[in-house]
Amino acid sequence: MLRIWIFCKQHGLRFVVSILIVLVFLTHALGIRHWELLDYLERRAYDTRLNLSLPNTSDPRIVIVDIDEKSLKMLGRWPWKRSILADILDQLFNHYKINLLGFDIVFPEADQSSGLNVLEELAQNKLKDQPAFLEKLSQLRAELNYDQQFANSIKDRRVVLGFAMISNKECQQGNCSSSGELPTPILKLSDLENITTPIPAQGFASNLALFNQLAVGGGHFSQLPDNDSIIRRIPMLYAYNNQLYESIALAMARVALNEPIIEPIIVRKGNYQAIEALKLGEHFIPVNEQLETLIPYRGKRGSFEYFSAIDILEQKVPLDKLQNAIVIMGTTAQGLFDLRATPVDEVYPGVEIHANMLSGLLDNRLLASPAFVQGAEVLLMMVSIVIMIFLIFWINPLWSIIIAIVMSGGIIWVNLWFWTELQLVIPLASTLVMIWTLFLFNMGLGYFLENRHKRQLTGLFGQYVPSQLVDEMSKNPSATFSLEGDSREMTVLFSDVRGFTSISEGLNPKELSQLMNTFLTPMTYLIHHHRGTIDKYMGDAIMAFWGAPLADPQHARNALLAALDMIKKLDELQPIFKSKGWPEIHVGVGLNTGVMNVGNMGSEFRMAYTVLGDAVNLGSRLEGLTKQYGVSIIVSEAVKLEVSDHVFRELDRVKVKGKDRPVAIFEPLGEYAVQDSATRQELEQYHQALQLYRQQCWNEAETILQNLHNKAPMRLIYKIYLERINYFREHPPEKNWDGVTTFTTK
């Protein structure tokens, strides 16, 4: 009893807090409460194990026909005529003798590029009494019906069509419509006996009924990223209207294996019941509760052979490369937006993700993470708890370190054995983090460490960030904040006073100093108010960023709100400037969101907490473009995508100095809710004109722009496009013109 009393007196608080720490991790492991940080670390632990165990081999059975930049250059912009696709399909089956073809492409609308619909309309109306025209049309009808040509090529061949399912997230962004016709579902929702909850779709983009009826199958090519935007799983079955639709990889595997049905494997043991796998003949496909399967990546990008579509069409590929092969047709062209972030590569073609999944299905090479692994994780945690809590109180710090290291190494070894030998994915990060959390807590003096943490944060970041952010950081002592370099997605702001040289020449030094203080003080306050970090003042210019040192999921939105408030505040300052005899000040603001390097950078003589990278440079270039387009704020498309409740006017697609890829630039107009009907109508007409301009429909675009210019002559963008139209009439753009404007200066 005396020993227990002494223990409680000396270690009671530490023991109680240790138990609370354990409860936090147990609630996460049991699914009672999910902690985003632990989820993030678990995803990273999964990625690490996956990369360590990659076979780094190729699968010669599966090849990819690539709609690449080379093909687009030779055959024109996408979408191509269906007659071209029919020719490619004929070459694959007739010349190369392939086994199976899957399309990571959807064909939801009729191909009207031949003009047949126009001729048919003439035949029904103006030229219905012209026998020669009607006879000629009858002769040309089959030649001009590209959809029928494509359908004829699909007929009696092993072709699997792809389609897209529209998720809840996409629907919330305003894309809930459906197009085309879904293929025959593979199962009914009732077949699952209410045991699992497959991902529901709110709509779809599928193929024309003509194509679906002739194909041997169809599968969705939807890939849902995790919260960190990385693709790790694919829904094997997607739910829509109480029906279940298979993925394209599953559909192709089913056709390749000549297996007509898929059977859910339901496991019932006591109170435990779950669908742990789908049975496809002798193949078992492990799934989670949402019927998703982990993607069995073979290696980095290029694990499968790619052949350019134009080379297929021109028969430049050796026959033995494709004979009896399973072919997936997709794209790696950047402009067609099918590049994804994966655990093995940051930029990975979506079509190769499906190839990896198909290869794993054919080989039965799939990792499983069934519901019962939760019990294994809890068991490991309980063993770790007993050792950590009851032993570290009685041993010295050195042995505590040894125990923590040995336990961590043992848990990692056991985990990797399950992964490699049994293909079971057991959570790892939570147990390791719990061990080291207990160790660090029990080896430190809690109160001292907490206060020391606060002092360090204030010393490190007090000169950079607003005081309220320092307070928030201080209240989270479990997080790590430092000045060391890091790479993360952030938003940067550049602001510059227009014509500052002329302004400075008209004022004496004292007046200039007063003016700048009067201007910079409220601007800085607004940036701090919206959780921004001041990077530096450059004379009349301000550079700020959002998302560091404190993570800010709303960094793009907060930066945009700060920019809008800065312009509004500047208008309020103009009467003050006028009353003091100072000139009016106008600024340009550029915003960009992207991955940036942030940290303390400089030399041994002077350091600065700043951001660097291409995304930062683009933000600076956007600020410079405000003068060209006569607007106060220009944001990149990345910012626009992050702030969905605001209205934006697309200004242009540009290539700025130092960047080879074009970017879309926008002018923010404010929240949707505050826009009147006249503004919305004007914006709709302008975007219609912009689309016509890029289609080189000069007359139609000019008519709309001229009307808009007459109503708002002070809006420079209308004048810019009217002048461009006049120029392109005299100097037509080249054949593959994409409407991009190139700027060669900063």
Please give the order of strands across the beta sheet that includes 187-188. 187-188, 243-246, 237-240
Please indicate, yes or no, whether residues 193 and 107 belong to a single structural domain of this protein.
Answer: yes
Give the CATH number of the domain where residue 527 resides.
3.30.70.1230
Torsions phi, psi of 403, nearest 5?
-60, -45
Please indicate, yes or no, whether residues 522 and 434 belong to a single structural domain of this protein.
Answer: no
3-class SS at 163? Answer: strand
As a whole number of angstroms, the distance between CA 339 and CA 505 comes to: 51
Note whether residue 608 is domain-resident.
Answer: yes
Please indicate, yes or no, whether residues 27 and 76 belong to a single structural domain of this protein.
Answer: no
3-class SS at 99? Answer: coil
Note whether residue 451 is domain-resident.
Answer: no
CB contact set of 695 (below 8 Å; sequence gap of 6+): none
Note whether residue 44 is domain-resident.
Answer: no
Amino acid at residue number 534: I
As a whole number of angstroms, the distance between CA 738 and CA 557 comes to: 30
As a whole number of angstroms, the distance between CA 95 and CA 93 comes to: 6
Note whether residue 277 is domain-resident.
Answer: no
- Residue 468: per-residue pLDDT: 56
Note whether residue 457 is domain-resident.
Answer: no
Q: What is the DSSP string of 212-272?
A: HHHSSEEEE------TTS---EEESEEEETTEEEEBHHHHHHHHHTT----EEEEEEETTE
Question: Which of 246, 241, 240, 242 lies closest to 264 in space, CA to CA?
Answer: 246
Q: Which of 415, 443, 471 is where one domain is finished?
A: 443
Note whether residue 466 is domain-resident.
Answer: no
Domain count along the chain: 4
Please indicate, yes or no, whether residues 681 and 743 belong to a single structural domain of this protein.
Answer: yes
As a whole number of angstroms, the distance between CA 221 and CA 209 comes to: 18
As a whole number of angstroms, the distance between CA 246 and CA 231 comes to: 18
- 713: which 2 tokens? 């002559």
Note whether residue 128 is domain-resident.
Answer: no
Please indicate, yes or no, whether residues 491 and 628 belong to a single structural domain of this protein.
Answer: yes
Q: Which of 443, 473, 502 is where one domain is finished?
A: 443
Contact 613, 596 (CB under 8 A): yes
- Other beta carbons within 10 Å of 478: 10
Task: Work out whether strand 633-636 and strand 646-655 pair parallel, antiparallel, or are unpaired.
Answer: unpaired
- Sites in the chain below the pLDDT cut of 70: 1-15, 115, 117-123, 126-129, 132-142, 173-174, 389-397, 442-484, 604-607, 744-746
Please indicate, yes or no, whether residues 493 and 574 belong to a single structural domain of this protein.
Answer: yes
CB contact set of 191 (below 8 Å; sequence gap of 6+): 244, 264
Contact 416, 444 (CB under 8 A): no
CA 239 to each of CA 164, 178, 180, 266: distance values in angstroms, whole numbers, following the listed order: 12, 14, 17, 18
As a whole number of angstroms, the distance between CA 577 and CA 594 comes to: 36
- Residue 18: per-residue pLDDT: 72
Q: Where are the alpha helices (DSSP H) in 59-130?
A: 69-75, 82-90, 116-124
3-class SS at 600? Answer: strand
3-class SS at 82? Answer: helix
As a whole number of angstroms, the distance between CA 595 and CA 611 comes to: 10
Please indicate, yes or no, whether residues 392 and 359 belong to a single structural domain of this protein.
Answer: no
Contact 609, 599 (CB under 8 A): yes
Sign of CA dihedral 525, 527, 531, 532: negative
Please indicate, yes or no, whether residues 229 and 337 belong to a single structural domain of this protein.
Answer: yes
Q: What is the DSSP string of 382-409?
A: HHHHHHHHHHTTTS-HHHHHHHHHHHHH
* Helix 2-29, helix 446-461: angle, nearest 10: 50
As a whole number of angstroms, the distance between CA 468 and CA 465 comes to: 8
- Chain CA centroid to CA 584, Å: 42
> Between vectors from CA 218 to CA 165 and to CA 105, what angle results, nearest 5°?
65
Please indicate, yes or no, whether residues 310 and 198 belong to a single structural domain of this protein.
Answer: yes
- Residue 136: per-residue pLDDT: 63
> Between vectors from CA 429 to CA 428 and to CA 435, what angle results, nearest 5°?
100
Contact 418, 387 (CB under 8 A): no
Peptide bond into 108 cis (omega under 30): no
As a whole number of angstroms, the distance between CA 362 and CA 283 comes to: 8
Q: Which of 341, 363, 385 is where one domain is finished?
A: 363
Sign of CA dihedral 517, 518, 524, 529: positive
CA 60 to each of CA 140, 160, 355, 356: distance values in angstroms, whole numbers, following the listed order: 42, 20, 11, 12
- 417: which 2 tokens? 């054995």
As a whole number of angstroms, the distance between CA 612 and CA 668 comes to: 25
Q: Where are the alpha helices (DSSP H) in 259-396?
A: 309-313, 350-363, 373-391
Amino acid at residue number 641: L
- Residue 312: per-residue pLDDT: 96
Q: For 646-709, list the strands marked E by DSSP.
A: 646-655, 663-671
- Residue 482: per-residue pLDDT: 55
Could you read off the pLDDT of 673-718 as tens digits, one per residue?
888 888 999 999 999 999 999 999 999 999 999 999 999 889 999 9
Contact 292, 220 (CB under 8 A): no
As a whole number of angstroms, the distance between CA 373 and CA 431 comes to: 13
- Chain CA centroid to CA 240, Å: 24
Q: Which residue has the tokens 């200066």?
A: 745
CB contact set of 406 (below 8 Å; sequence gap of 6+): none
Q: Which residue has the tokens 């890939």?
A: 223
Please indicate, yes or no, whether residues 225 and 243 belong to a single structural domain of this protein.
Answer: yes
Note whether residue 139 is domain-resident.
Answer: no
* Residue-number span of the structural domain to which 620 is assigned: 486-671
Please indicate, yes or no, whether residues 529 and 497 belong to a single structural domain of this protein.
Answer: yes
- Residue 455: per-residue pLDDT: 54
Please indicate, yes or no, whether residues 577 and 628 belong to a single structural domain of this protein.
Answer: yes
- Residue 142: per-residue pLDDT: 65
